[in-house]
């Protein structure tokens, strides 16, 4: 669990934090489009605020995805090193 979510649940351990999949989030994202359009149509400042918020969300999602890719690559590197270590250990023991 991410540290921020853990901190939220710490004072109230009876709370359950549920992380939705992309498929589970889709209906909420679709419903939000109408609300966002209505909010943006009220004023230029609302539209500017919404556009900035959406840009910030997109950037955060890209960073999260990039971090996940880095994490996967780091794990693959660790596995490769571990496999090499095991291989050389076996070679030393056999030789």
Give the tens place of pLDDT for each residue, 34-92: 999 999 999 999 999 999 998 998 888 888 877 877 777 777 777 777 766 676 666 67
pTM for this one?
Answer: 0.51
Which residue's structure tokens are 């901190």? 7
Cβ(17)–Cβ(1) under 8 Å? yes
Range of the domain at 49: 13-94
Q: Does residue 20 surpass a pLDDT of 70?
A: yes
Residue 8 lies in a domain: no
Residue 3 lies in a domain: no
Residue 78 lies in a domain: yes
Nearest to 57 by CA among 13, 68, 4, 65: 65
Cβ(50)–Cβ(36) under 8 Å? yes
- The pLDDT confidence band at residue 1, using thresholds 50, 70 and 90, is low
């Amino acid at each position: 669990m991410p540290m921020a979510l853990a901190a939220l649940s710490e004072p109230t351990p009876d709370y359950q934090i549920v992380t939705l999949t992309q498929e589970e989030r889709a209906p909420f994202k679709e419903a939000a489009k109408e609300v966002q359009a209505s909010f943006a149509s009220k004023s230029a400042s609302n539209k500017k605020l919404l556009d900035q918020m959406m840009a910030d969300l997109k950037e955060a999602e890209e960073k999260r995805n990039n971090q996940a890719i880095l994490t996967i690559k780091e794990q693959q590197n660790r596995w490769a090193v571990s496999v090499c270590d095991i291989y050389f250990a076996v070679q030393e023991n056999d030789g």
